[in-house]
Amino acid sequence: MNITYPENIDHWEKWQQAYRFGLILIMPPEPVFSQVNALRSEFDPRSQSYCDAHISLSLPIPRPITEADWAELVDITSQVRPFEIHYGKLKDYPPYPGVVISIEPQSMVKQVQEKIEKASLFKDATPRKFPFNAHMTIAEFISVETTASLLKELEGKTPEGTFLCDSLVFIVPDDNMHFHVVRKLHLGGLS
């Protein structure tokens, strides 16, 4: 695969360096994408500058992805049927302060995450520090006080609804640590 990865990541923060080779996630369709991005831009412009609205799925990819890796991921996702995702309830995200939009059904998203991470690509990935919990972040790296204030301020003002998850995206950061979609993985073998 002809993918351009960042060459010099010395200026990145330590946690960012783990994401050099990208990750796989769910990006919501319009208008959810723009609605959540607007909230991220207003309440956490720094994090929004790294990555647009998304639901994190995989661990950071530990090495450059190959055509064989991609073929394995295509095979895995072709066996997963598209499914509905409900989003809407606002909550904090312990153990860290922050405000997120909850995602349901957690069980289905977790099944997809587990299947993806069983790919040989993730054999040498750093294990998760915390259990997987699907969500869309509005604000992170904020104080406990700001979290409480934001939860109160945004109550009843965030988007809520359902969308069909029929694809995953492989994203890679550029030299400035802004992620870009490189390729899509279609669920159920759809194209």
d(CA 9, CA 60): 15
d(CA 17, CA 5): 12
pLDDT at 96: 79
Instruction: Note whether 27 and 156 are within 8 A (CB).
Output: no
In order along its 191 residues, the chain shows pLDDT tens digits of: 789 999 999 999 999 999 999 999 999 999 999 999 999 999 999 999 999 999 999 999 999 999 999 999 999 999 999 999 999 999 997 777 899 999 999 999 999 999 999 999 999 999 988 889 999 999 998 889 999 999 999 998 899 999 999 999 999 999 999 999 999 999 997 65
Instruction: Note whether 136 and 154 are within 8 A (CB).
Output: no
**pTM score, two decimals?**
0.93
pLDDT at 191: 59
Task: Find the angle CA(39)-CA(33)-CA(42) to the nearest 5 degrees.
Answer: 15
pLDDT at 1: 73
**HEC letters along 70-135:** HHHHHHHHHCCCCEEEEEEEEEEECCEEEEEEEEECHHHHHHHHHHHHCCHHHCCCCCCCCCCCCE
Closest listed residue to residue 135, CA positions, set 29, 26, 19: 26
